[in-house]
Amino acid sequence: MFIYSGNLGNCQYGPNETITVVFPARFELLDPVTAYWQWSNDPKLNKKASVANCGHIHSLTKTSDGYCLIHFSFGPCSFEGTVSPDLKTLSLTMDYPAGSPIGEPFSLTAMHTNHANVRSAMVYTGNLDWVPYARGEMMTIVVPYGVTKDAFFGLYYRWNQDPTRSRANVNAAVNGVFQNVNVESSGRITATYKDPNYTYSFTFGDRKGSLVLSNIRRGDVSDDAHFVVAYAG
């Protein structure tokens, strides 16, 4: 499994919006690929439309110097990608519709790498509303190994106004491990994660859940951010 995240750069319909691309297996022909992003103002889907897509690698070329050239598409969206030899960077160009580039190439950074085919992987998507810091910002939660103690997860979203650095439109990447995991008799699971700035409180139910962020220094708390399954391996 390989997880890459970053932003769309100067994309015509989603400048600097967060995008997360997940390869649940490896980089081989017909291996699955999923991608999650948000349009700022798509001409068909309108403002702040969230997009979740699942597909496969359609073409693959491995160069003599270790680069991997891939192509994948989701309906009208087409991607040409280059994976660096060390697997740390995924460079992409997007056509929308196919054959019509909508921005310059952009590069995503590896958030998690595991050369195994992770069949248990789950991806959830939802929106984070925490005015004035985030207004309807798409969030993507990648759970490769289930919700168990010390299991890795990735949370990717964007701040409209970063509460800790007073900057606008900042991408956030949280690569953490689940702590304080509790499985209730109903099957509901709760878990937390704490970094220097926030406590993340998760609740997982039947293919859905919610997330609450708490600012450790100021003490303020976000509304419940609800999410649903977008991909199940």
pLDDT per residue as tens digits for the range 128-156: 999 889 999 999 999 999 999 999 999 99
Type and span of the H or E element at 62: strand 59-62
Taking the model in full, what pTM does it have? 0.95
Please give the pLDDT value at position 196. 93
β partners of residue 81: 70, 92
List the domain boundaries for the chain: 2-113, 122-232
- For residues 42 and 39, give the distance between their C-alpha atoms in angstroms, rounded to a whole number: 6
Q: Looking at domain 122-232, which CATH architecture does it have?
A: Beta Barrel (2.40)
Instruction: Kindly list the distances between the CA atom of residue 146 and the CA atoms of 19, 84, 143, 177, 178, in Å, as whole numbers in the listed order.
Output: 22, 28, 6, 11, 10
Please give the pLDDT value at position 119. 80
What are the per-10-residue average pLDDT scores of the chain (233 residues)?
95 91 95 95 80 96 97 94 98 88 93 89 95 92 97 96 80 97 96 96 96 92 96 92
